Structure 1
Amino acid sequence: MMEVEKVRKMKNIKPGTVVIPVLIWIMIAIMLIPMVWMLLVSFKPYESNVTDFMVMLTTKFTMENFLKILDTSRMGRWIFNSFLIAAVQSLVGILLASLAAFALSVIEFKGKKVVFFIILAGLMVPVEALIMPLFSLIISLDWMNTYAGLIMPGLAMPLAVIIFKQFYDGVPRELIEAANMDGAHIFWVWRKIFLPLSGNTTAALMIFLFIQSWNNFLWPMLVGTDSSMMTLTVALPVFQSTFSTDVTMPMTANVIASVPALIVFLVFQKQIVKGIAMTGIK
């Protein structure tokens, strides 16, 4: 009887229930192998042989590469620059986007639809098309190699405005009417009602924008030409070019550069999932 039941269960198993998990694990392995290799290489002695996998495993593990990079390079400064720019852009940009979306969703004024379509058109303009006018503006303001020049252009976030407006349009208007009856100011309505309700959306967008700013390369390369104003994405290729015959030091630098963004993702991953579910971000 037991064998008959096992046969019946085997017949009831659909091919998709087996194939799909196997494919997922294969994809996970394909994505993890380069990262695991980078991590292993970073703990190997300087100029050690990392092309032979067996030789690499038998070579001793050491922390000297991390200590050497932190001691001889400006890695700390580059991490600070990247973190400051990403944090300010994500925080201030989200607040500005939330206020703009609140005005477009709640406040009635002339030309509201025109303003919304102008913001929507901002998604259709490639970033590369804006580089020259933005760069000319930065030069005229004398903002080269300054935090203002690196941060200000990234505060305009049309996608965040559209997502916030989509969420705010679904907030019951009875809440606004009740607040108005109690004499609440319009800014109080945004701060006490709309902003708390969009907590998951705000958290998800902040994390996405933080990682996007952290990985940004083109604009920091143009504006932050001085070594003290470089971000990690700009400084790492310059740093790696000095180790043309070695692999361990560049891999160590990449591991250090990956840690902050990885920590942010791991800490706020629940908010990311909730934000995606609530806003429909693809």
Structure 2
Amino acid sequence: MKWVYRIVSVIAACVFLIPLVWMLVVSIKQEGMKVSGLFDWFTPPYSFAVYGQIISGTKLMQWVWNSFFVAGVVTVLTVLVAAMAAYALSKIPFRFKAIMFFFILAGLLVPGEATIIPLYQVAKDMHLLNSYQGLIVTALASPMAVIVLKGFFDGIPNDLIESVQMDGGGVWKIFAVIMLPLTRPALASMAILTFIGSWNNFLWPFLSLTNDKLFTLPMGIPTLMSQYSEDYVKPMVVNTLSSIPIIILFVIFERQIIKGISLSGIKG
């Protein structure tokens, strides 16, 4: 039966790769090409001239940098804040801890679209619109990361914490020396999922940005695509340049991404 699974897996992989291969091939065709049949998409002549036009004549690379910068900062700060919150809920006794945990858990039941109007009003009052700060600060709350990390922290024996306390270690030393190193796989998984979520975020940048120099890729690409409605090559070049960074990251962190999805219970 193994060879049956392998054949099915190869066929499924080929099916999913067809759009990617088509995008790459069309992106190196000459601008203004005429297509009269299926094979015209894959036949010469080829040219990389459009790549130069897109890179030098649009803000696409600026948007790539914006996406990397925002997603990177959001990932680091979100995981750090979630880890501290999970540590407090798991190992630090304080009043109303159970109520606080259920309050965070309830955050999973509220769709992001339901909070977008009050979030916009708060960002407006704090003068965070049209800024990197507005893209970053508003994305730091992650109930999922807190709950997943708390589950890992709960599994750490209290004897380890007591041994550090006997050596004179305080709350922050316990957090840095014991909690973070022992939950590194969970931290990495949450970081990857947070990065992907921030990279793909469209709604909040769409509402909070009007300066095209601050656009992220999900916001900038539709704006750019509207200019090339009658051309095939330029949209494919834009998609290719936008996809290459995230494809490279996926190839490097494939195992961690799959592990993160299994840890969080997210499907799809």
Q: Aligned AA for 2:28? A: F
1:113–1:99 distance in 2 versus 1, CA, 3 Å: same
CA shift, 1:275, in A, is 4.7
How large is the Cα RMSD of the aligned pairs? 1.6
C-alpha distance in structure 1 between counterparts of 2:201 and 2:261, whole Å? 22
C-alpha distance in structure 1 between counterparts of 2:35 and 2:83, whole Å? 49
Q: Aligned AA for 2:103? A: I
1:276–1:135 distance in 2 versus 1, CA, 3 Å: closer
Which residue is 1:122 aligned to?
A: 107
CA shift, 1:189, in A, is 0.6
Q: 2:17 aligns with which of 13, 28, 32?
A: 32
Contact 2:192–2:260 (CA under 8 A) maintained in structure 1: no
Q: 1:143 aligns with which of 115, 128, 139?
A: 128
1:131 aligns with 2:131: no
C-alpha distance in structure 2 between counterparts of 1:241 and 1:252, whole Å? 14
Which residue is 1:249 aligned to?
A: 234
Give a deviation string over 1:67-90, Cα, whole Å, max 9, x none: 110110011211111111100111
Contact 1:232–1:257 (CA under 8 A) maintained in structure 2: yes
Show the 5 A alignment for 1:17-166. 17-50=2-35, 52-166=37-151
**Pairs aligned (count):** 266
Give a deviation string over 1:31-50, Cα, whole Å, max 9, x none: 11111101111111112235
Contact 1:201–1:276 (CA under 8 A) maintained in structure 2: no
Contact 1:83–1:214 (CA under 8 A) maintained in structure 2: yes
CA shift, 1:198, in A, is 1.1
Which residue is 2:219 aligned to?
A: 234
Contact 1:207–1:264 (CA under 8 A) maintained in structure 2: no
Give a deviation string over 1:79-106, Cα, whole Å, max 9, x none: 1111111001111000000000000000
Unaligned runs of 5+ in 1: 1-15
Which residue is 2:200 aligned to?
A: 215
TM-score, normalised on structure 2? 0.94
CA shift, 1:177, in A, is 0.7
CA shift, 1:117, in A, is 0.4
Q: Aligned AA for 1:198? A: T
Q: Aligned AA for 1:35? A: L
Which residue is 2:161 aligned to?
A: 176
Contact 2:71–2:199 (CA under 8 A) maintained in structure 1: yes
TM-score, normalised on structure 1? 0.90
1:197 aligns with 2:144: no
CA shift, 1:51, in A, is 6.3
Give a deviation string over 1:143-174, Cα, whole Å, max 9, x none: 21111111111100000000000001001111
Indicate the structure (1 or 2) with the bigger Cα radius of gyration.
Answer: 1
CA shift, 1:276, in A, is 5.4
CA shift, 1:206, in A, is 0.8
C-alpha distance in structure 2 between counterparts of 1:33 and 1:88, whole Å? 34
